[in-house]
Structure formats: structure tokens, C-alpha cells
Amino acid sequence: MGFYDLNKGARVLLVEKINQKIAFNLTSNKTESIIKYFSDEDTYIRKTGYLAIGKIFYSKPELQKTILSALKDLLKSDSEKVRQTVVNAAGEIGKFHFDKVKTFLILDCLTNTILLEMR
């Protein structure tokens, strides 16, 4: 069932669940839930995932390095959905703190793109 097939109350609960699971993954230095939501077929689930990363980045500064590290690792995923959602998450962070993601966006994304082309 797609995100917008759910009623508003169910969507609110789903967003909260996604936010909690991603936050737990980050505090545990894991990425299973992040990968699950970043690779979902439903674009709105992926969007909820990258918005969660942005919210956590601002609300929990102690996780900022962990988030950037996780995004860098996930950028190497074989899934193009995951890679695109990583870029979207970095964009959410960059809206207000481009200085914290510019190296990631410029060097890591460019390097990853070149490596993918060489495959």
C-alpha cells in the first residue's frame, strides 16, 4: 500500500515510525532501516526518509558526523534509489548548512559517479 493510500492519521503514524527507526539506526551506527526506506518503491516513503535525516541532523547535532558518514557509505549502494535519496538527504542538510555537505556533494558524489561509469 502506498503512502497516499493511507488515511492522514495512518500517514502521521508512519512518518513517526520512520523517523524513530532512522534515528535509532543512527544512534546504533547501523543503516538497515535507512536502506529500507531509501530503497522503497514509493517515492513518498523515500522522501519521508530523507526528510527524517534532515530533521535529525538539526535536532541532534551530536549525530551530524554519523549522518554524514552513513550518507557517504550509502552513496556506494548498488541501488540507484538509495543513491538518489542520499543526494536528496544531503540537499536537505545543505539548505541551511551547505558548508557541512559541500565536500560530500562535490567530491564524494562526483567520485562515485565516475566510479559507476567505469563499471
Cell 563499471 found at: 119
The model's pTM is 0.85
- The domain 3-118 is classified under which CATH number: 1.20.1730, 1.10.287, 3.40.630, 1.25.40? 1.25.40
Q: pLDDT tens-digit profile of 56-71?
A: 999 999 999 999 999 9
- Report, as an integer, the average pLDDT of 16-44: 97
**According to the model, what pLDDT value does residue 106 have?**
65
Residue 52 near residue 21, CB atoms below 8 Å: no
Q: 98: pLDDT confidence band, cut at 50, 70 and 90?
A: confident
CA 84 to chain CA mean position, Å: 9
3-state secondary structure 30-93: CCHHHHHHHCCCCHHHHHHHHHHHHHHHHHCHHHHHHHHHHHHHHCCCCCHHHHHHHHHHHHHH
Greatest mean pLDDT among 42-51, 75-84, 101-110 lies in 42-51
The residue extents of the domains of the chain are 3-118
